[in-house]
Structure 1
Amino acid sequence: MAQASVASHGPAASEQARPQYTHRQILEILSGLMLAMLTAMLSNSVIATALPTIVGDLGGQDKLSWVASASLLTMTASTPLWGKLSDIAGRKLMFQTALGIFVIASMGAGLSQGIGQLIAARAGQGLGAGGLSALAQVILGDVVEPRQRGRYAGFMGAVFGVATVAGPLVGGFIVDADALGWRWCFYVCVPIAIVAFLVIQRVLTLPKIRRDTRIDVFGAFTITGGAAVLMLLLSMGGKQFAWNSVWTYGLVIAAVVLIVLSVVAERGARDPILPPRLFRNPTFVLTSFISICLGMAMFGTMIYMPQYLQIVKGMSPTASGLMTLPLVLGMLVTSTSSGQVVTRTGRYKLFPIAGMACVATAMFLLSRLHTDSSKVLIGVDVAILGIGMGLTLQIMILAAQNAASTADLASTTSGVSFFRNLGGAMGVAAFGAILTSRVASEIASGFRSAGISRPSGGSTLGSPDEIAKLPQPIRDIVRDAFTSSLETVFLVGVPVALLGLLAVFAMKELPLRGSSHRGKDTPTPTTPEPTP
């Protein structure tokens, strides 16, 4: 795989620059990308079961959503930037840079001595993870044509499923192990990231393309600023300040101004981060909207389901991690099998239709869980959610890439990833605001109904261990409050998923570019692909 140095003069020239890869070489590159994706996804899922213990140790149950959403915020805001930077400096260099940032931030998170330091380190993790999640898909798009991409994209989706289940399991084991402790939830990602760096260094060889481009500084500032302000509003509203307050109105105005300025910036930029022409592509608009809906339901469930399992059901972190096994099994089976079917048939729209229907159904079923719900019922509910995620996640990326010109591949991929992460950050923040508000009112109502005076000295909320040690009447009130509040949280996810389902129906299914058959060791063709 010799490197080439060519000038880029449009989609055809970029497509001609694609080197020839055999199936074996693609699998080698895929292995490095999968390790990096595993690292990025694991950083969020590994702390899910450990969060109650972490905030109990460092203090700040009210800041739990910040520990989770800080990384999602920076991941969301930085995703479009990574795509543009990879166009300028090269995919491989920026991918390895993202890995380096992630490793440094992970070490910082493990060494944190306070909740503020941990939140800052988590923001650094999100910055690196944003590059990994976006550029992995871009690189896959560089080396594999759309028709064949489904068979490999399914494996990428499976990695997400593995991280989803491995994270809570690993996190629960680490927290329960006396010799480790929660800090190892962050250290455990480091060796995987280093291995991914070395694998990519050895197997990935992409042509050096001279691009006449520049960084859209104004667009970068307004896009990332608008996303950051919106996340601050959702994360802090109703907690650090009242919804009906000067802070709320100020942040709303700031978000609107930055979003308007980002539109102006992108329309006037020579090389915009999110080119306005992308939004004239109905497939990009719809896949981005679907990704927002899916991200809200997905990340919201991942972060707050352990709250139900540990606080309401009294499970240990390890046991709550095991309860996610049905989710990952459903996701593994559907993501890999759907990718193979898409490659053979060239049809893909049916899968996200079924997927979003499953997500909506799962969110409704999760909202019906109570303090006495059986483990079998919980397992069935999360399995349906996993099936829905597996049928939808990678297909959205594939559909968007297939509808884009080769010149817009990086912008399209990072754009869809941006909106999915934005939905996730919005979901975590909004669901957290709902949970915090509802828990406080439900606990107060519970004490009044029981005729019990609320204990002085602060909130009864804390880590699962602290809640388990409360006197029986108070413990029951707290658990009932969490149950009722989480019912509301999951119920809010139902209309969100249904909106995503309607958007899938509105999406036009375009023929997948590329051949439907190829020998095991046949290289990827380098003939130009037509621009839709």
Structure 2
Amino acid sequence: MAPTMTHRERLEAFAAIMLGMFVAFLSSTIVSNALPTIIRDLHGSQDQYTWIVVATLLAATATTPIWGKLADRTSKKLLVQLSLVIFTLGSVLAGLSQTVPQLIGARAVQGLGLGGIQALAIIVIAAMFSPRERGRYQGPMAVVMSVATISGPLIGGIVVDTPWLGWRWTFFLGVPLALIAVVVVQRTLNLPVIRKPDTHVDYLGAALIAAGVSALLIWVTLAGKQFAWGSTTSYALAAAGVVVLALALVVEMRSPDPIIPLRVFRERTITLATLASIAVGIALFGASVFLGQYFQIARGYSPTTAGLLTMPMMVGSMISAIISGQLITRTGKWKRYLVTGAATMTVGFMLLSTLDHTTDIRLAGVYLFILGIGMGMTMQNLVLAVQNTVNPRDLGAASATVTFFRSLGGAAGVSVLGAVLSTHIVNLTDSGLRALGIDLPAGVNAGIGSLNELPEPIAEVVRAAYGDGTARIFLISAVLALGSLIAIGFIRETVLRTQTGDEQLREELREQREPEVVPV
């Protein structure tokens, strides 16, 4: 039987996991304020702008369930280190990219590692701390996620504006931090592993899930631009996505050891938390990605200033995460904070849906602060609700499932919202130019990729279109956040457990006399 980690060892391991988590989430948003510069330097398009983000989220989403399933049967330490190494490789390749397609491919490699880091972090923490204890650590964990996610645009802006660095260092910056995390994890993390040679990972199910999700994301991203919504290509992609996902469902139902155990959805809390996580994913990634574009393109701020303007959201998230986490540990009550957070997030999105290219920046900051408060109370507490409910042997798979759907929400959200924004901006630009009686010269494309070369009157119309068009994506997010609030309202609150995931599993193994837990 593996020895139990001491309190100090758990704290050291927690710090190492937080470092890896910080690097991973930072990579998701540090590039957001650099994207306009990257697209201009590499002569990309608005569609490619979206895919630089979606490639990472898609790869992370597709692999998250696999990482979670592996965590239930092999060394969590090894998996954490492997995911960090893969992430580091992708970061180096991204920084060396010479074309947008190369960058998109490198971002996909980053996503493979990101999928592991974001899934394994919550799994490892659940194994070390009980649900009741975890409230105390929810605050620092949410702060790391919030700081990394929301300060990413600020750091990215500073890097882009620094002449001797440039946008490539938005990718290189995380490399040394990730390598440090690998070393610290090796020294501190010592969790047991259950050896079950008679089981296997359902790679067919994982492949089908990834293929189905990818087909649908490609469809919503390219439809209306590369091909018409009502075209044969559009119908084929949509049908392919639905059919492949249906096949994945069949495979998962028949598999003795599925990637996503469908039995966990028999528990109402897990089903409802999964639905709510989709909206949280949209909030987490969509807001950061498109806010940077709004502040830079529509309002004319530098990348650094654009990052500073997102600070109210980070501050609100930090405050609410710390306070709600402490109160959960003290009282054992958690649902009230989920409901309040989802409601506040909905209000924040509704307020942001009133933005245009003339909105007072101070007012926008208030709206972002409100959104941040809602995000801080919602993100990690949804995972806590699931981990407190699920059987300890399914802890990794269930935690990864919630993370999977949050990532899916982020990938689909950025993709769909990007497609909506792109189409809406084209319409607003055309109507703005017609109102001024301006005809575009032959061969001129009034878009973000050619903004620096456009005559000032046309460029001004394009900037205004970006400013006015951004409101629509926040309105859509508000509707989805409201759906999240409704789902959370039906979650049944249960008493928080006082045993760690590791302790629960040990107890169950003793009762059932299953294979021995051995140290790794």
TM-score (ref. length: structure 1): 0.92
Aligned match of 1:177: 162
Work out whether residues 212 and 245 of structure 2, in 8 Å CA contact, stay in contact via their aligned partners in 1: yes
Residue by residue over 1:367-423, the C-alpha shift from the partner in whole angstroms, topping out at 9 and shown as x without a partner, is 112222222111111111111110000000000000101001001100000000000
Ranges in structure 1 where 5+ consecutive residues have no aligned partner: 6-18, 517-522
Task: Check whether the contact 1:312–1:371 (CA below 8 A) recurs between aligned residues.
Answer: yes
Q: How does 1:62-211 map to 2 (within 5 A)?
A: 62=46, 63-211=48-196
Q: Tell me which residue corresponds to 1:40.
A: 24
Measured after TM superposition, the shift of residue 260 of structure 1 is 1.2
Task: Report which stretch shifted further, 352-361 or 114-123.
Answer: 352-361
Distance 1:395 1:227, change over 3 A: same
User: Deviation of residue 526 (structure 1)?
Assistant: 8.5
User: Given that residues 21 and 524 in structure 1 are in contact (C-alpha distance below 8 angstroms), is that contact kept between their aligned partners in structure 2?
Assistant: no
Tell me which residue corresponds to 1:59: 43
**Which 4+ residue blocks in structure 1 deviate beyond 3 angstroms?**
466-472, 523-531
Residues in 2 aligned to 1:384 and 1:528: alpha-carbon distance in whole angstroms? 43
The whole-number CA distance in structure 2 between the counterparts of 1:395 and 1:183 is 35
- Is 1:503 matched with 2:493? no
Aligned partner of 1:391 in structure 2 is 377
Q: Name the stretch that deviates more: 265-274 or 411-420.
A: 265-274
CA distance in 1 between counterparts of 2:452 and 2:384 reads 46
Compute the displacement of 1:210 (Å). Answer: 1.3
- Aligned to 2:57, the other structure's residue is in SS state helix
Aligned partners of 1:297 and 1:496 also within 8 Å: no
Corresponding pairs, count: 507
Identity within the alignment, %: 43
Q: 1:373 aligns with which of 326, 346, 359?
A: 359
In the TM superposition, residue 300 of structure 1 has moved relative to its aligned partner by: 1.3
Deviation at 1:529, TM superposition (A): 7.8
Question: 8 Å contact 1:460–1:467 — kept in the other structure?
Answer: yes
- Partner of 1:326, secondary structure, is helix
Of 483, 501, 513, the residue aligned with 2:467 is 483
Q: Map of 1:347-426 to 2, 5 A cutoff?
A: 347-426=333-412
Say whether the 8 Å CA contact 1:434–1:485 is kept in structure 2.
Answer: no
1:458-477 matched pairs, under 5 angstroms: 458-462=444-448, 467=451, 470-477=454-461
Contact residue 88 and residue 214 of structure 1 kept, 8 A: no
Q: 1:529 to 1:88 in 2, by over 3 A?
A: closer
For each residue in 1:128-159, what CA deviation from the matched residue of structure 2 results, as whole angstroms up to 9, or x when unmatched?
Answer: 00000000100011111111111112211111
Post-superposition CA distance 1:478-532 (Å, at most 9, x none) = 122112211111111111110000001011111111179xxxxxx989874899x
* Residues 318-327 or 56-65, more deviating: 56-65
The 3 A distance-change label for structure 1 pair 371 and 208 is closer
Name the stretch that deviates more: 384-393 or 79-88: 79-88
- Report 1:213-232 matches (<5 A): 213-232=199-218
RMSD value over aligned CA atoms? Answer: 1.9
For 1:357 and 1:138, locate their aligned partners in 2 and report how far apart those are by CA, in whole Å: 27
Shift in CA distance, 27/48, structure 1 to aligned 2, threshold 3 Å: same
Gap change, CA 1:272 and 1:238, over 3 Å in 2: same
* 1:287-366 correspondence to structure 2 within 5 Å: 287-366=273-352
